[in-house]
């Protein structure tokens, strides 16, 4: 039968209702392509699960590249390399392409120089991008959606980019050889000619970390780890025309690598480090030789039995032999000691003998045990490649050796393990292994062990005077050095001369290593020493004086420039001696002079495009390398005074108007090009020279300008002055420290937004004690000169900051963090991407990016088409638009649009309330193969039951065991809502249960169960907290029942516990505990209350309740506080889910895998409360995990589970006789796990299919894999078609799973509201009829009154007649009163139908409903003590205040029931007795009472006899 529909609730009512919904943030609306669920009918709605992000499902083809929809290939985020991706205007992220495995992207920028939508330029360390070969640099066209290489790329890491759109140039900075010209570390790509062009200043002599424009764009600022040297125009440089041997820059670099060695980059110029090894004597500690070679203990094995190939020592002595492993065996080469090694790469010579050879290897270094990523040149293609786990050795006999460079630069270690993985022939063979250094070493310390390698040239050391061996030990190494004690009164000559072996001429930095005096214990007697360097054959020396008064080991630069190679006629030398004017000692009468070692570091090769050198000043004495083919300059530093030139460290400003072509990397610059930034560089250089142990880490990472002030950030400091940040006035050149002396850690990035300067990096506060607490990001106000925090900051270091072009008040924050923190301390998962809004001083909702974001770029605000998009790069695995941390709220707007939102301030930790370990989720977006069942959790037990499974299960068979699905923390597995009627404002409390932990907003921790109140920021929880995994909970009255797996509360109980929400305390005593079967644990999976009774159904896996046998399903009487067995009960097994059927909830439907008392195995069974009997419902393929009854209809039940034979998931429908699969059952693919089934109301009617009506759909939730749709968390099913609906993401970026949809309305209507309610039509009719009657009465009064006016004969008669007319008018009032009574009754029914019961609370109908409910409630006196009985919904008693009219009895002629009944209409069955209370006010609808239940309402007059 059909009924008229009621209208949609007006928007103002929706607004009123939503005012009582829990506060939520991070809302996102469902796309119009999805079916519209009407959550407003369900009240407050939540969805819990194991996820941290939740999104509406969209088709994989729904989004394309930023400006083109022509792409047919779906691009995904990479778990192996960095990904370039963009954020669209709707807040969603889309990948564009990823690097090769291990590739890194450090910087990107956007240029519109050549196209309307522009081009992205990308720099880092990679060999390919989206399958396009590109060496460290690439571009991406937003017009063609394609990647391209930039020429032959750049041969070295790229750290920073700047897109100069006004000049059609892209600037690159890093550590690389110049692609054209003679400079290095700076390169320029011309967008107009699509080619590399040399920078106007040649290049810089060190690593470049930052390139930014000045405020007016007239200059470019460069920051990094380099120096520039400025000389006065009036100063003269001596010997400028001296002979070739006396000039710098004329050395010839010749590779030292053996012939036919495959080199990479500059590896051919690197020096092999000769390592000696052998059997160590007892008590011997490995050390550093006086000749600079390192002795280590070597092991290789398993070795061959051939004696001439079994000695591993030959591997460290190139050309001395070969080593073979046992046949067909993976072999290891281990080299370990206690001394530090420093190497840049490794040269491996394959042992191609007897048809053997090694194919792949990998290197792991100690003591960190890190497997190194290495770069090599493929001899077949000539291209650079990277490798880590399988580095190839080629078996071509024409290749004498292969060089592999450590991708992350020079590594320091005490040993390494080389695993030889694959081979040709009978097994592994190797000839030699040599570590490559980027220069040379010579050590003064020595041990007594003799080198086992006699071949090869070595570094040597000579001493003059009295020197003694000393040792310095650390946790990971033991190093030797020399020490000399000299009288302060009569100092004698003590000198150490180092003769380093330099394999190739080139540009080098030469460092002296000074042992720290604290570990050596000689701080009071340390002084200064003179250093003299002779780098060139026939050249003059470079002298400087340095202090050895350093607390910690310090590496001090003493020379930078060209160095000749070691030959038979020449060896570069470095001498160290007591200074001519030694610094005074702190106490005592003796000087202590120490000599440890020198290190040469190759910075460039002469005559090559990679030529560069480093300039620096050391402790006030300036030294500089001056290389270059066009300049001849004296290298005798004693002839250039400090007044002649100055050195600037870390910063360089290049004016675009400059016409100079002097190479800044290799030449002196004129002081007329100095700028205020240059003078800041002078200050930094002076502080660097005085900084001692911290000098080696100095770098400038960022430079920004605002108005006329330049801000510089990085890793530098001056004691009691500034730390890591500085500012300089662009006009006066006055440098100044920032408030509180700066920041406590490294500054990586800076940006200007809305008049503020923001700094990001690795710091947690200002530098001075008592300053502002900051977490990795800070705001500086140049006007008030004060620091401020950004809320609570973030939880990891920041790598980049961007000023948004979409909003002038937004700052984009990128880095290696996972959460943003609000000012009150609550955190929200964000991943490495966040936005701070300066106008609201709060973090914006940006969803979750799973991974770290290293770089970003935003198009200019004037760009059309893509101005609302931004571009990023980093190690990102996926994203979610909504950060929901285990629980999300679902709601519907007035127009029917559904919305996902999160609870404000709710953030669950990574640890759970259960001690079980978390499982690793699959990668989001990956399609699981249909055969993946064998690797799912089901496969752990289905194999064991296949043998005993059969089409017809025999009596007394054992039900298959259901293994509990993993619930990795954080996971919300159950939820409920409770209205605190006794509190002011009647707040709604959201109750969550699961496997999680969180910080309580009131202090302490919350575990297992948590409470969230309207307007509350964060969670609270019961005390004591709940241990174990909470899988179900239910609010009954003012009590919440809690159950699950391993659930326990200290001092309260376990298995099933009850918490009094009003009294805020656990209930103790009175409820016998649930007990498991032998060898099992108690698990409670479902807690449901049978409406209008005190019966609470508890289902799960247990055997008894107290001493009562009550397996799997037990009934708790909350009124009498006792357990009872439902009928004959179940004999064993597990019940996963329950639901009710029948208008009076007289039938219980149980799903799982269990045995009835008769021994029959069932997966779904019904229990009749009327006759206390169990009945198995048909035959299903296997255990049922979820069940749903369609609006209490016992002939329309859906069950989901998996086949016990092959694990295939199923969804089947029970029609009262048999189970049947859906027409599209194959859509639910193997590997799917269904956690919950629930019918949800729809906002729009759909075409009905099968047994599902057109006003509802079945929501299937869990971890689903749908054919043609892929991974889905929740899907809608209309009886024939599947609609992917929600997709969840785990906290690691993998696939999430949903567990429970929960809502506040205990009952709701599915009817789709289109038309006016029948009650409203009746009301209008009554109103019209009442008006007509009143009109007729008024006319009658007038007719009666007029004649009698004429008949007035005396006053008494007139008064009597007047009074009589008044009395007649009173009778009309009775008529009106009668109609008012009918009006009130109909109005009550109308109000109920209009708001669906949700807003009832005023009027006669509300009062009547309240009285009727009170009649069914029991005396609350038994609850006053706080002991059991508990949980009854009859907690407030009352009696009827007035007697009802008895009416007349009759019998129903037809059924008047079904889901389309409106509020106020009385559901009745044919043949049922009914009492008619009012049949006079309407001929179509009569007001009646059900004598069995006392319910009252209207029924059709034609439906009764």
What does the pLDDT look like over 768-778, one tens digit per residue?
877 788 999 99
**HEC readout, 984-995:** CCCCEEEEEEEE
How is residue 1122 written in tokens? 């006792």
Q: Where are the beta strands (DSSP E) in 58-206?
A: 83-87, 93-98, 104-111, 119-125, 128-129, 132-133, 137-141, 146-149, 158-164, 169-177, 184-190, 195-197
Predicted confidence (pLDDT) per residue in 1260-1273, tens digit? 999 999 988 888 99
Which of 480 and 1223 is assigned the larger pLDDT? 480
Q: What is the pLDDT of residue 995?
A: 92
Contact 450, 456 (CB under 8 A): no
Confidence tier at 695 by pLDDT (50, 70, 90): low
1264 phi and psi, to 5 degrees?
-110, 155
1355-1395 vs 1404-1415: helix crossing angle, rounded to 10: 60
Region for residue 214 given its phi and psi (left: phi exceeds 0; alpha: psi -120 to 50; beta: otherwise) = beta
Contact 1494, 1412 (CB under 8 A): yes
- Of 1499, 1492, 1454, the closest CA to residue 1478 belongs to 1499
Q: What is the pLDDT of residue 626?
A: 32
How is residue 1446 written in tokens? 């008895």
Which of 1032 and 829 is assigned the larger pLDDT? 1032
Contact 1275, 1285 (CB under 8 A): yes
Contact 244, 664 (CB under 8 A): no
Q: Per-residue pLDDT for 1059 more than 50?
A: yes
Would the pTM count as exceeding 0.85?
no
Length of the chain: 1505
Which of 1407 and 726 is assigned the larger pLDDT? 726
Q: Is 715 helix (H, G, I), strand (E, B) or coil?
A: strand
What order do you get walking across the sheet with 1197-1202 strand by strand?
Answer: 1184-1189, 1197-1202, 1209-1214, 1219-1221
* Spatial distance between the Cα atoms of 31 and 1477, rounded to a whole number of angstroms: 50
Contact 740, 771 (CB under 8 A): yes
Q: What is the pLDDT of residue 538?
A: 66
Strands 137-141 and 146-149: antiparallel
Q: What is the pLDDT of residue 239?
A: 28
Predicted confidence (pLDDT) per residue in 1393-1429, tens digit? 444 433 333 333 334 334 333 333 333 333 333 344 4
How is residue 1121 written in tokens? 């506080």
Q: Where are the beta strands (DSSP E) in 322-465?
A: 323-324, 331-343, 345-350, 357-366, 370-371, 374-377, 384-387, 391-392, 401-406, 411-424, 429-437, 439-443, 460-464
* Spatial distance between the Cα atoms of 681 and 679, rounded to a whole number of angstroms: 5
Which of 1370 and 986 is assigned the larger pLDDT? 986
Q: What is the pLDDT of residue 1252?
A: 92
Q: What is the pLDDT of residue 924?
A: 36
Q: Per-residue pLDDT for 1361 more than 60?
A: no
How is residue 402 written in tokens? 């292969």
For residue 5, count other CB atoms closer than 10 A to its CB: 18
Confidence tier at 1458 by pLDDT (50, 70, 90): confident
* Spatial distance between the Cα atoms of 415 and 430, rounded to a whole number of angstroms: 19
Predicted confidence (pLDDT) per residue in 237-272, tens digit? 332 222 223 333 356 778 888 888 999 988 888 888
For residue 241, count other CB atoms closer than 10 A to its CB: 9
Predicted confidence (pLDDT) per residue in 609-624, tens digit? 333 333 333 333 333 3
Q: What is the pLDDT of residue 356?
A: 92
Residue in the structure block whose two tokens are 């330049």: 710
Confidence tier at 764 by pLDDT (50, 70, 90): very high
Predicted confidence (pLDDT) per residue in 367-393, tens digit? 888 999 999 999 888 899 999 999 999
Q: Per-residue pLDDT for 176 more than 70?
A: yes
Give CB contacts under 8 A, 24+ apart, made by 194-199: 195/151, 196/150, 196/151, 197/169, 199/171, 199/654
Instruction: Please compute the mean of the pLDDT values over residues 330-358 and round it to a whole number.
Output: 87
Confidence tier at 1332 by pLDDT (50, 70, 90): confident
**Mean pLDDT for the chain?**
80
Contact 973, 995 (CB under 8 A): yes
Q: What is the pLDDT of residue 641?
A: 36
Confidence tier at 628 by pLDDT (50, 70, 90): very low
- C-alpha separations of 499 from 357, 502, 535, 1287 in Å: 38, 9, 11, 67
Instruction: Please compute the mean of the pLDDT values over residues 495-501 and round it to a whole number.
Output: 91
- Of 854, 856, 848, 858, the closest CA to residue 874 belongs to 854
Q: What is the pLDDT of residue 7?
A: 36
Max Cα separation, the chain? 158
Lowest pLDDT segment from 227-241, 463-477, 1169-1183, 1303-1317: 227-241
* Spatial distance between the Cα atoms of 1108 and 457, rounded to a whole number of angstroms: 89
3 phi and psi, to 5 degrees?
-130, 155
* Spatial distance between the Cα atoms of 351 and 694, rounded to a whole number of angstroms: 44
Q: DSSP of 383-412, one letter per residue? A: -EEEESS-EE----TT--EEEEEETT--EE
Lowest pLDDT segment from 268-277, 614-623, 697-706, 1343-1352: 614-623
What order do you get walking across the sheet with 439-443 strand by strand?
Answer: 439-443, 597-604, 506-514, 554-563
How is residue 337 written in tokens? 């000691």
Contact 399, 370 (CB under 8 A): no
Q: Per-residue pLDDT for 1355 more than 60?
A: no
Q: What is the pLDDT of residue 1089?
A: 95
Contact 1012, 1003 (CB under 8 A): no
Q: Can you list the alpha helix ranges (DSSP code H) found in 1231-1313?
A: none
Q: Per-residue pLDDT for 208 more than 90?
A: yes
């Amino acid at each position: 039968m059909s009924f008229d529909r009621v209208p949609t609730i007006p928007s103002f009512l929706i607004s009123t209702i939503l005012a009582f919904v829990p506060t939520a943030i991070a809302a996102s609306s469902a796309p119009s392509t999805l079916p519209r669920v009407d959550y407003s009918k369900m009240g407050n709605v939540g969805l819990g699960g194991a996820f941290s992000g939740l999104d509406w499902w969209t088709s994989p083809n729904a989004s394309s590249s930023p400006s083109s929809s022509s792409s047919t290939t779906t691009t995904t985020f990479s778990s192996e390399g960095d990904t370039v991706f963009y954020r669209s205007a709707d807040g969603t992220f889309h990948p564009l392409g990823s690097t090769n495995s291990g590739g890194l992207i450090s910087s990107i920028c956007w240029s519109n120089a050549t196209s309307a939508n522009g081009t992205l330029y990308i720099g880092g360390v990679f060999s390919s991008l989206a399958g396009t070969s590109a060496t460290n640099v690439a571009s991406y066209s937003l017009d063609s959606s394609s990647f391209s290489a930039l020429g032959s790329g750049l041969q070295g890491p790229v750290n920073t980019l700047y897109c100069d759109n006004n000049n059609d140039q892209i600037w690159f900075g890093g550590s690389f050889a110049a692609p054209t010209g003679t400079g290095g570390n700076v390169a320029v790509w011309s967008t107009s000619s699509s080619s590399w062009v040399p920078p106007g200043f040649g290049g810089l002599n060190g690593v470049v970390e930052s390139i930014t424009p000045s405020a007016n764009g007239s200059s470019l600022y460069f920051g990094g780890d380099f120096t520039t040297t400025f000389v006065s125009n009036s100063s003269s440089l001596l010997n400028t025309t001296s002979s070739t041997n006396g000039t710098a820059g004329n050395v010839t670099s010749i590779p030292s690598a053996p012939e036919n060695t495959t080199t990479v980059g500059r590896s051919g110029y690197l020096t092999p480090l000769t390592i000696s090894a052998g059997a160590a004597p007892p008590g011997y500690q490995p050390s550093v030789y006086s000749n600079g070679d390192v002795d280590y203990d070597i092991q290789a094995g398993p070795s061959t039995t051939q004696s001439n190939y079994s000695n591993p020592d030959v591997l460290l002595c190139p050309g001395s032999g070969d080593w073979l492993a046992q046949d067909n065996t993976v072999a290891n080469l281990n080299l370990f000691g206690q001394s530090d090694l420093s190497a840049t790469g490794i040269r491996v010579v394959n042992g191609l003998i007897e048809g053997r050879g090694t194919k792949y290897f990998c290197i792991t270094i100690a003591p960190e045990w890190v497997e190194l990523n290495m770069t090599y040149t493929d001899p077949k293609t000539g291209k650079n490649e990277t490798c880590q786990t399988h580095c190839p050795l080629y078996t071509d006999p024409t290749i004498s050796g292969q060089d592999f460079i450590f991708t992350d630069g020079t590594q320091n270690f005490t040993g390494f393990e080389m695993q030889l993985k694959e081979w040709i022939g009978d097994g592994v063979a190797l000839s030699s292994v040599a570590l490559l250094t980027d220069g040379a070493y010579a050590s003064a310390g020595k041990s007594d062990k003799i080198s086992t390698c006699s071949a090869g040239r070595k570094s040597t050391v000579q001493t003059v005077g009295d020197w003694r061996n000393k040792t310095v030990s650390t946790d990971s190494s033991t190093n030797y050095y020399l020490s000399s004690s000299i009288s302060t009164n009569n100092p004698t000559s003590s000198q150490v001369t180092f003769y380093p072996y330099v394999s190739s001429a080139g540009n080098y930095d030469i460092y002296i290593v000074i042992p720290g005096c604290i570990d050596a214990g000689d701080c009071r007697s340390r002084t200064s020493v003179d250093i003299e360097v002779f780098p060139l054959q026939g050249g003059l020396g470079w002298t400087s004086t340095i202090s050895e008064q350093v607390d910690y080991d310090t590496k001090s630069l003493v020379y930078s420039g060209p160095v000749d190679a070691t030959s038979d006629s020449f060896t570069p030398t470095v001498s160290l001696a007591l200074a001519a004017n030694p610094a005074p000692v702190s106490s005592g009468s003796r000087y202590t002079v120490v000599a440890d070692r020198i290190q040469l570091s190759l910075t460039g090769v002469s005559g090559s495009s990679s030529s560069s050198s480093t300039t620096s000043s050391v402790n006030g004495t300036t030294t500089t390398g001056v290389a270059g083919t066009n300049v001849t300059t004296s290298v005798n530093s004693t002839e250039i005074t400090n007044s002649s030139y100055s050195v600037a460290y870390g910063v360089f400003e290049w004016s675009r108007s400059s016409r100079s072509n002097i190479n800044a990397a290799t030449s002196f610059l004129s002081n007329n090009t100095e700028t205020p930034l240059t003078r800041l560089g002078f200050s930094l250089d002076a502080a660097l020279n005085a900084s001692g142990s911290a000098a080696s880490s100095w770098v400038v990472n960022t430079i920004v300008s605002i108005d006329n002030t330049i801000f510089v950030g990085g890793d530098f400091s001056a004691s009691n002055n500034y730390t890591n940040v500085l500012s300089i006035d662009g006009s006066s050149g006055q440098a100044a420290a920032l408030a509180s002396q700066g920041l406590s850690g490294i500054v990586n990035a800076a940006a200007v937004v809305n008049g503020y300067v923001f700094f990001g990096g690795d710091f947690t506060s200002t530098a001075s004690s008592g300053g502002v607490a900051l977490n990795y990001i800070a705001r500086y106000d140049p006007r008030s000169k004060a620091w401020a925090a950004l809320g609570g900051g973030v939880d990891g270091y920041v790598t980049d900051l961007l000023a948004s072009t979409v909003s002038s008040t937004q700052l984009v924050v990128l880095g290696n963090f996972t959460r943003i923190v609000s000012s009150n301390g609550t955190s929200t998962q964000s991943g490495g991407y966040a936005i701070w809004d300066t106008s609201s001083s709060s973090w914006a909702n940006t969803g979750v990016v799973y991974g770290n974001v290293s770089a970003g770029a935003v198009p200019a605000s004037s760009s059309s088409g893509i101005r609302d998009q931004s571009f990023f790069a980093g190690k990102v695995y996926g994203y979610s638009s909504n950060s929901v941390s285990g629980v999300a709220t679902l709601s519907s707007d007035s127009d029917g649009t559904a919305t996902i939102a999160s609870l404000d301030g709710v953030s669950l930790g990574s640890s759970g309330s259960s001690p079980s370990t978390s499982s690793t989720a699959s990668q989001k977006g990956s399609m699981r193969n249909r055969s993946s069942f064998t690797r799912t959790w089901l496969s752990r037990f289905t194999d064991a039951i296949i043998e005993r499974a059969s089409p017809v299960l025999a009596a007394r068979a054992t039900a298959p065991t259901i293994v509990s699905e993993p619930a990795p923390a954080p996971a919300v597995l159950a939820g409920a809502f409770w209205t605190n009627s006794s509190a002011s404002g009647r707040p709604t409390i959201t109750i969550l249960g699961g496997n999680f932990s969180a910080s309580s907003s009131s202090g302490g921790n919350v575990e297992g169960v948590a409470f969230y109140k309207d307007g509350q920021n964060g969670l609270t929880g019961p005390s004591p907290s709940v241990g174990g995994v909470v899988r179900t909970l239910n609010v009954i009255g003012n009590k919440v029942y809690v159950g699950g797996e391993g659930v326990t509360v200290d001092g309260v109980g376990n298995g099933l516990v009850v918490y009094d929400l009003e009294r805020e305390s656990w209930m103790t005593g009175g409820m016998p505990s649930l007990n498991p079967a032998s060898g099992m644990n108690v698990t409670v999976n479902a807690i449901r209350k049978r409406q209008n009774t005190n019966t609470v159904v508890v289902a799960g896996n247990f055997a008894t309740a107290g001493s009562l046998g009550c397996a799997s399903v037990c009934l708790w009487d909350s009124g009498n506080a006792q357990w009872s067995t439902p009928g004959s009960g179940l004999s064993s097994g597990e019940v996963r889910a329950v639901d009710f059927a029948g208008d009076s909830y007289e039938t219980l439907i149980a799903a799982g895998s269990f045995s009835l008392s008769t021994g029959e195995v069932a997966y779904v069974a019904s229990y009749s409360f009327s006759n206390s009997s169990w009945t198995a419902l048909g035959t299903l393929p296997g255990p049922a995990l979820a069940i749903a009854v369609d609006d209490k209809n016992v002939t329309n039940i859906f069950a989901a589970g998996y086949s016990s034979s092959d694990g295939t998931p199923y969804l089947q429908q029970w029609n009262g006789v048999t189970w049947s699969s859906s027409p599209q059952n194959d859509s639910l693919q193997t590997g799917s796990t269904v956690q919950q089934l629930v019918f949800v109301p729809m906002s729009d009617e759909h075409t009905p299919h099968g047994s599902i009506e057109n006003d509802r759909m079945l929501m299937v939730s869990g971890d689903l894999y749908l054919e043609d749709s892929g991974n889905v968390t929740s899907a809608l099913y209309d009886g024939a078609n599947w609609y992917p609906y929600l997709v969840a993401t785990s906290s690691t970026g993998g696939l999430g799973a949903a567990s429970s949809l929960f809502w506040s309305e205990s009952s709701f209507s599915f009817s789709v509201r289109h038309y006016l309610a029948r009650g409203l039509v009746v009301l209008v009719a009554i109103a019209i009829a009442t008006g007509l009657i009143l009109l007729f009465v008024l006319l009658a009064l007038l007719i009666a009154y007029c004649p009698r006016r004429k008949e007035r004969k005396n006053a008494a008669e007139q008064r009597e007649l007047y009074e009589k007319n008044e009395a007649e008018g009173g009778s009309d009032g009775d008529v009106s009163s009668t109609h008012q009574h009918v009006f009130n009754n109909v109005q009550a029914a109308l109000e109920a139908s209009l708001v669906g019961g949700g807003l009832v609370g005023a009027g006669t109908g509300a009062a009547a409903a309240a009285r009727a409910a009170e009649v069914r409630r029991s005396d609350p006196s038994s609850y006053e003590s706080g002991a059991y009985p508990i949980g009854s919904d009859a907690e407030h008693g009352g009696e009827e205040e007035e007697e009802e009219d008895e009416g007349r009895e009759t019998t129903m002629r037809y059924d008047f029931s079904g889901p389309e009944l409106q509020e106020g209409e009385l559901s009745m069955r044919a043949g049922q007795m009914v009492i008619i209370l009012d049949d006079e006010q309407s001929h179509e609808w009569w007001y009646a009472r059900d004598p069995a239940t006392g319910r009252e309402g209207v029924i059709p007059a034609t439906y009764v006899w």
